[in-house]
């Protein structure tokens, strides 16, 4: 997968929150082979500050860090957090979240586009957490985003792909734009479905961190993502309403 002129070996991205221990977090990343780790700037810090131990752990994972603006509810808050992230983690990448609804954690579409424009003009490479809305996607691309991160379902719900029609439409509308299904996945089978639909990657956190065995679940998601991508590239058969025998009837013996 290629985003912002950078090649990423794995199509699975993992969050770093809610794990029962640092050792469990490290083992989950090892078994998943995830190439990108998202880190909340509101919770952690780099250098010699409060989150130094956590930052050391993330560096030891050997993965690309994608800071995010999780928990931001305004453009100003998101932009300020992104600027902090650039200083702390020395990266122009930012996963942009501007939350508009407290219960569903749905993005604020107006604030999201405005923040994306401000950050892009400031040299950031923005990964916007968005819905499957095609018009919103168009506005984000016009604002300078080169990748889109539509949700599968509200963050942390594990409901999977709740609007398959919307996601298929979004994927078809922008076939050349890298897209990552972000949030709401609960099972590896749901990740497989997203990849079979042609999405480029998936990002998840809670489904792994809150599993009884996070490392095993992380590996399960990794295999599911690989299976889904292989199926997409193999050009699967179209579904049909009528049955069709897989064994030909020509040459079959008939009893009189």
**pTM (2 d.p.):** 0.89
Q: So where are the chain's domains?
A: 2-234
The catalytic residue positions are: 95
27/99 Cα distance (integer angstroms): 31
Q: Would you state the pLDDT for residue 43?
A: 56
Would you say domain 2-234 falls under CATH 3.20.20.70?
yes
The position carrying tokens 């979004």 is: 170
Look up tokens 């719900």; give the residue.
157
Q: In this predicted structure, what is the pLDDT of residue 202? A: 97
Residue 240 has a pLDDT of: 87
Q: Residue 245: what pLDDT?
A: 80
pLDDT for 9 equals 84
List per-block mean pLDDT (blocks of 10 residues) for the chain, which spans 256 residues.
89 94 94 93 56 77 92 95 92 96 92 98 97 97 97 95 97 97 96 97 96 97 97 92 80 66
- Please list, in sequence order, all residues whose beta carbon lies within 8 angstroms of the beta carbon of residue 184, skipping any fewer than 6 positions away: 151, 152, 153, 154, 155, 156, 157, 158, 159, 160, 161, 162
Residues with Cβ within 8 Å of residue 219, at least 6 apart in sequence? 31, 32
Confirm whether residue 184 is marked as ligand binding. yes
């Amino acid at each position: 997968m290629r985003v912002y002129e950078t090649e990423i070996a794995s199509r699975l991205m993992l969050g770093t929150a809610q794990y029962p221990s640092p050792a469990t977090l490290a083992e989950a990343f090892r078994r998943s082979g995830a190439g990108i780790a998202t880190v909340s700037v509101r919770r952690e810090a780099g250098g010699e500050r409060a989150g130094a131990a956590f930052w050391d752990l993330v560096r030891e994972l050997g993965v690309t860090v994608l800071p995010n603006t999780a928990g931001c509810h305004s453009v100003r808050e998101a932009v300020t957090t992104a600027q902090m992230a650039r200083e702390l983690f020395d990266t122009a990448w930012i996963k942009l979240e501007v939350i508009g609804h407290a219960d569903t954690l749905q993005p604020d579409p107006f604030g999201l586009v405005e923040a994306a424009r401000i950050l892009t003009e400031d040299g950031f490479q923005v990964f916007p957490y968005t819905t499957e809305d095609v018009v919103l996607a168009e506005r984000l691309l016009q604002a300078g985003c080169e990748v889109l991160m539509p949700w599968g379902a509200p963050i942390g719900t594990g409901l999977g792909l709740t609007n398959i029609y919307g996601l298929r439409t979004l994927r078809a509308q922008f076939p050349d734009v890298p897209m990552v299904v972000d949030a709401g996945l609960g099972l590896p089978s749901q990740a497989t479905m997203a990849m079979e639909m042609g999405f480029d990657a998936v990002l998840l956190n809670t489904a792994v961190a809150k599993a009884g065995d996070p490392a095993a679940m992380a590996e399960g998601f990794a295999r599911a993502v690989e299976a889904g991508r292989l199926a997409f590239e193999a050009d699967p058969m179209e579904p049909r309403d009528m049955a069709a025998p897989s064994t030909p009837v020509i040459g079959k013996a008939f009893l009189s």
